[in-house]
Structure 1
Amino acid sequence: MTSIRRGLEAAEHEARARRERGQVVVPDAVPGTYVTFESFPGIELALDSLDPRTGTTHPELRSVRVDEVDGQCVQWATVFVPEGTMSYFFKRLDEYLASADKNNPANRNLVDRVHAVRLASVEALWTDPATRFPAVDEQVWWELWLRRRDGAEPARLRAYADGVDMRVGSRALGFGTRTVVLVRTTARQLISALAVLDDIAELRGPHHRAEFLADEDAATQGGFIDDLARLVVPAGASAPAVCVVDTGVHRAHPLLNGSLEPRDCHVADPRWPAEFDDDGHGTRMAGLALYGDLAEAVNANSPVHLRHRLESLKLLPPPGFPDNEPHLYGAITAAGVAAVEIGGTRRRRAYSMAVTAVTPAPSPDGTGKPVSGKPTSWSASLDALAAGRGVVESGTGLTLLDEADPDAHRLFIVSAGNVTAFDHDHLARSDVEPVQDPAQAWNVLTVGAFTERDKFADSPAVYDGWSPLAPRGELSPFSRTSVSFGTRWPVKPEVVLEGGNVAESPDGSERHSVGALELLTTRAPMTRSTAGSSRQLTTAGATSAATAQAAHLAARITADYPALWPETVRGLIVHSAEWTPAMLARLEGMSKKRDKRVFLRRYGMGVPDLTRATRSAEDALTLITQETITPFRADKLGEIHFHDLPWPTDVLTDLGATAARLRVTLSYFIEPNPARRGWNGRYNYASHGLRFDVRRSTESDEEFHKRLNRKALDEGEKRPAPAGETGEWVFGPEARRTSGSLHTDIWTGTAAGLARRGVLAVYPVGGWWKERAARGRVDHDARYGLVVSISTPGVDTDIWTPVAQQVGVATTITT
Structure 2
Amino acid sequence: MASDRSLPHLFIRQSATAEPYSPPPGGPVGNKVASPNDPTLHAQGLLANLERAGNKIAAKKQAATVEPVEGAVSGVYVEFESFPGVELAVESLDSRVGKVHPELMSVQPVETAYGLVERATVFVPDGKLQNFVKKIEEYAETADTERPTHSNLVNRIKEIRLASINALWTDPVDRLPRVDEKIWLEVWLRVRDGREIDRFREFAAQAEITLHRHILQMADRVVLLAATTLEQLSGALDVLDDLAEIRRSNHAAEVLALQPAVDQGEWVSALLERTDHAPDDAPAACILDTGVFRDHPLLRPALNAEDCHTAETPWNTQDHSGHGTEMAGLALFGDLGQALVAAERIHLRHRLESAKILPPPPAFNEPDVYGLVVAKAVDRVEIQAPRRRRVFSMAVTAGHDTPNGESVSNYGQPTSWSSAIDALAYGHSIDSATDSGQVVIRTQEAEAHPRLFVVSAGNIFPFDLDHLTRSDVEPVEDPAQAWNVLTVGAFTERDDMSEAPAGFNGWRPLAPRGELSPHSRTSVAFSRTWPVKPEVVFEGGNAAASPDDLMIDTPENLQVLTTQAPVQRPGQLGLTAGTSAATAQAANMAAQIMCSYPSLWPETVRALIIHSAEWTSAMRSRITAEKKKVDRAALLRRYGMGVPDVGRATRSASNALTLVAQETIHPFNGAGALREIHMHDLPWPVEVLMGMGETPVRLRVTLAYFIDPNPGRRGWRRRYTYASHGLRFDMRRATESNSDFRKRINRKALAEEEARPESHAESGEWFFGAKLQQSPGSVHTDIWQGTAADLASRGAIAVYPVTGWWKENPKKDRSPDGARYSLVISIDTPSEDVDIWTPVAQQIGVPITIS
Structure 1 residue 590 corresponds to structure 2 residue 626: yes
Match of 2:476 among 435, 452, 469: 435
Question: How much does 1:526 deviate?
Answer: 1.6
Residues 441-485 of structure 1: per-residue CA shift (max 9 Å, x gap) = 000000000011010344422101111110000000111000011
Secondary structure of the structure 1 residue equivalent to 2:384: coil
Q: How does 1:227-376 map to 2 (within 5 A)?
A: 227-274=270-317, 276-326=318-368, 328-361=369-402, 364=405, 370-376=409-415
Secondary structure of the structure 2 residue equivalent to 1:762: strand
Secondary structure of the structure 2 residue equivalent to 1:666: strand
Structure 1 residue 537 corresponds to structure 2 residue 576: no
8 Å contact 1:415–1:546 — kept in the other structure?
A: yes
Judged with a 3 Å threshold, the aligned counterparts in structure 2 of structure 1 residues 732 and 776 are, in CA distance, closer, same or farther, namely: closer
Q: Quote the Cα distance in structure 2 between the aligned partners of 1:497 and 1:629.
A: 33
Please tell me the residue identity of whatever aligns with 1:383.
D
For the pair shown, which has the larger CA radius of gyration, 1 or 2? Answer: 1
8 Å contact 2:397–2:479 — kept in the other structure?
A: yes
Q: Quote the Cα distance in structure 2 between the aligned partners of 1:234 and 1:412.
A: 23
Structure 1 residue 390 corresponds to structure 2 residue 429: yes
Question: How much does 1:811 deviate?
Answer: 8.7
Residues 379-425 of structure 1: per-residue CA shift (max 9 Å, x gap) = 0001100011036899xxx985333434x210000000001121111
Aligned pairs, how many? 580
Q: How does 1:14-413 map to 2 (within 5 A)?
A: 218=263, 221-274=264-317, 276-326=318-368, 328-361=369-402, 364=405, 370-390=409-429, 401-406=443-448, 408-413=449-454
Judged with a 3 Å threshold, the aligned counterparts in structure 2 of structure 1 residues 336 and 729 are, in CA distance, closer, same or farther, namely: same
8 Å contact 1:666–1:692 — kept in the other structure?
A: yes
8 Å contact 1:690–1:764 — kept in the other structure?
A: yes
Aligned to 1:480: 521
Q: Quote the Cα distance in structure 1 between the aligned partners of 2:452 and 2:399.
A: 23
Identity of aligned residues (%): 58
8 Å contact 1:631–1:780 — kept in the other structure?
A: no
8 Å contact 1:289–1:551 — kept in the other structure?
A: yes
Question: Whose RCO is larger (CA < 8 A, sep 6+)?
Answer: 2
Secondary structure of the structure 1 residue equivalent to 2:471: helix
Aligned to 2:803: 766
Structure 1 residue 612 corresponds to structure 2 residue 648: yes
Match of 2:595 among 559, 563, 587: 559
8 Å contact 1:415–1:543 — kept in the other structure?
A: yes
Judged with a 3 Å threshold, the aligned counterparts in structure 2 of structure 1 residues 804 and 481 are, in CA distance, closer, same or farther, namely: same
Structure 1 residue 639 corresponds to structure 2 residue 681: no
Give the alignment's TM-score, normalised by structure 1. 0.68
Question: How much does 1:723 deviate?
Answer: 2.6
Residues 152-197 of structure 1: per-residue CA shift (max 9 Å, x gap) = xxxxxxxxxxxxxxxxxxxxxxxxxxxxxxxxxxxxxxxxxxxxxx
8 Å contact 2:710–2:720 — kept in the other structure?
A: no
Structure 1 residue 417 corresponds to structure 2 residue 458: yes
Q: Quote the Cα distance in structure 2 between the aligned partners of 1:772 and 1:680.
A: 12
Range with bigger deviation, 239-248 or 772-781: 772-781
Match of 2:497 among 446, 456, 467: 456
Judged with a 3 Å threshold, the aligned counterparts in structure 2 of structure 1 residues 810 and 440 are, in CA distance, closer, same or farther, namely: farther
Residues 655-684 of structure 1: per-residue CA shift (max 9 Å, x gap) = 111001110001100001264546577961
8 Å contact 2:402–2:408 — kept in the other structure?
A: no
Q: Quote the Cα distance in structure 1 between the aligned partners of 2:501 and 2:365.
A: 37
| RMSD of aligned alpha carbons | 2.5
Residues 499-527 of structure 1: per-residue CA shift (max 9 Å, x gap) = 01001111111111122111110000026
Structure 1 residue 628 corresponds to structure 2 residue 664: yes
Q: Quote the Cα distance in structure 2 between the aligned partners of 1:727 and 1:648.
A: 18
8 Å contact 2:702–2:825 — kept in the other structure?
A: yes
Q: Quote the Cα distance in structure 1 between the aligned partners of 2:843 and 2:803.
A: 36
8 Å contact 1:439–1:446 — kept in the other structure?
A: yes
Question: How much does 1:343 deviate?
Answer: 3.0
Secondary structure of the structure 2 residue equivalent to 1:744: strand
8 Å contact 2:705–2:778 — kept in the other structure?
A: yes
Judged with a 3 Å threshold, the aligned counterparts in structure 2 of structure 1 residues 558 and 508 are, in CA distance, closer, same or farther, namely: same
Judged with a 3 Å threshold, the aligned counterparts in structure 2 of structure 1 residues 389 and 775 are, in CA distance, closer, same or farther, namely: closer
Judged with a 3 Å threshold, the aligned counterparts in structure 2 of structure 1 residues 502 and 763 are, in CA distance, closer, same or farther, namely: same
Please tell me the residue identity of whatever aligns with 2:296.
H
Judged with a 3 Å threshold, the aligned counterparts in structure 2 of structure 1 residues 370 and 810 are, in CA distance, closer, same or farther, namely: farther
Structure 1 residue 496 corresponds to structure 2 residue 544: no
Residues 360-396 of structure 1: per-residue CA shift (max 9 Å, x gap) = 458726xx863310000000001100011036899xx
Residues 40-81 of structure 1: per-residue CA shift (max 9 Å, x gap) = xxxxxxxxxxxxxxxxxxxxxxxxxxxxxxxxxxxxxxxxxx
Q: Quote the Cα distance in structure 1 between the aligned partners of 2:299 and 2:812.
A: 49
Question: How much does 1:589 deviate?
Answer: 3.0
Residues 719-755 of structure 1: per-residue CA shift (max 9 Å, x gap) = 9974310100010110111111100000000000100
Residues 736-785 of structure 1: per-residue CA shift (max 9 Å, x gap) = 11111100000000000100100001100000111245345353310011
Aligned to 1:136: none
8 Å contact 1:387–1:404 — kept in the other structure?
A: no
Secondary structure of the structure 1 residue equivalent to 2:490: strand
Please tell me the residue identity of whatever aligns with 1:510.
M
Judged with a 3 Å threshold, the aligned counterparts in structure 2 of structure 1 residues 775 and 279 are, in CA distance, closer, same or farther, namely: closer
Q: Quote the Cα distance in structure 2 between the aligned partners of 1:436 and 1:430.
A: 12
Judged with a 3 Å threshold, the aligned counterparts in structure 2 of structure 1 residues 364 and 393 are, in CA distance, closer, same or farther, namely: farther
Q: Quote the Cα distance in structure 2 between the aligned partners of 1:562 and 1:780.
A: 23
Aligned to 1:745: 782
Q: Quote the Cα distance in structure 2 between the aligned partners of 1:301 and 1:446.
A: 33
Q: Quote the Cα distance in structure 2 between the aligned partners of 1:506 and 1:682.
A: 57
Question: How much does 1:638 deviate?
Answer: 1.3
Aligned to 2:546: 505
Aligned to 1:36: none
Q: How does 1:630-779 map to 2 (within 5 A)?
A: 630-633=666-669, 634-673=671-710, 675=712, 677=714, 684-710=721-747, 722-772=759-809, 774-779=811-816
8 Å contact 2:540–2:582 — kept in the other structure?
A: yes
Secondary structure of the structure 1 residue equivalent to 2:730: strand
Give the alignment's TM-score, normalised by structure 2. 0.66
Match of 2:636 among 590, 593, 600: 600
Q: Quote the Cα distance in structure 2 between the aligned partners of 1:393 and 1:256.
A: 31
Residues 555-596 of structure 1: per-residue CA shift (max 9 Å, x gap) = 000001010000000000000000001111001231223311
8 Å contact 1:412–1:445 — kept in the other structure?
A: yes
Q: Quote the Cα distance in structure 1 between the aligned partners of 2:794 and 2:815.
A: 32
Structure 1 residue 525 corresponds to structure 2 residue 566: yes
Secondary structure of the structure 2 residue equivalent to 1:325: coil
